[in-house]
Structure 1
């Protein structure tokens, strides 16, 4: 592992997500997901695109062409390559301390990685719902992501980023509470 707990968390979350994507069957790529406008392929494309955007931020390089097909004929391979590139960029000197701006905010690299981990977990749930491919997220990582999202997303700042939180039992599993907090209905029915 690394000297940084958040990079270690990203390594774990990326490994879980990569394992899920590797198990998506060929006929599942067009299946609908809880992200109502996205198919399974669209969710994976989003994951790869965000990895590449973060690489550009950490390397202080040009942003990727968001209109380009970043998956090609090998979505799982594209995800593996983008996850590896993100991990390499995250350990560059000062990458975690340096702030960068996006259409959403200005944030330090470490905060961006916390969002990345939470995003991987939420979209892992999306993919599991759409494909039936299960994932074993470390409990501490889910709890940590839920606490982080709650602290970072007060109601007025959600606009354009997430839908309103959905109703969920207080004693529901942390993963379901995280997903509901980000605006997705639990349970989800295609």
Structure 2
């Protein structure tokens, strides 16, 4: 089963490279946080709790990809950030990218919170999660997210195709909200995932 949007002629795409690029951009947002208790577009989370959620998600996927038990990853009861949230985030990012770069991972099948998926789909799930929460983080901290438009467009195509396949009880996103067709790609993606860009 292929979940990749076909590349443009002459272009090769590695979704793990896309993931690494998105994580690098979000790392810059995390490093730019000045107020960790600020509210976010996710009403139940502060900035710190949002970043904690991302780190726990990265660790969960890293454990799954290594065939390990992941333990408690409830962001309400697990603090993965400690005294240095930026270092904790970067450490989780390194582990996640390394896990996805293992030989054969993209062809194997894994049980993740969204269900049983091939590794290639798991990469896209992490990219979409990171793009959405990167947008949340940027909004909460007054920063400008720097995600490549072409990359975001690929994840819009992935999300449009795959959200319909998720059972309602496993869909982590709200229903889509209206957005202008000519809106920037990141605004269109977050609107697809139930956030209001305005």
State TM-score, norm by structure 2: 0.87
Q: Secondary structure at the match of 1:96?
A: helix
Cα distance in 1 for residues equivalent to 2:184 and 2:113: 32
Paired residue for 1:161, among 152, 172, 193?
172
Aligned residues: 183
Q: Secondary structure at the match of 2:117?
A: strand
Distance 1:155 1:53, change over 3 A: closer
Cα distance in 1 for residues equivalent to 2:161 and 2:176: 14
Q: Which runs of 5+ in 1 are unaligned?
A: none
Partner of 2:56: 49
Partner of 1:60: 67
How far off is 1:171 after superposition? 1.5
Cα distance in 2 for residues equivalent to 1:41 and 1:142: 25
Cα distance in 2 for residues equivalent to 1:137 and 1:68: 29
Q: Aligned-residue CA RMSD in angstroms? A: 1.7
Q: Secondary structure at the match of 2:106?
A: coil
How far off is 1:37 after superposition? 0.8
State TM-score, norm by structure 1: 0.90
Q: Which runs of 5+ in 2 are unaligned?
A: 1-11
How far off is 1:144 after superposition? 0.7
Q: How does 1:1-190 map to 2 (within 5 A)?
A: 5-25=14-34, 28-66=35-73, 67-154=77-164, 157-159=167-169, 160-187=171-198
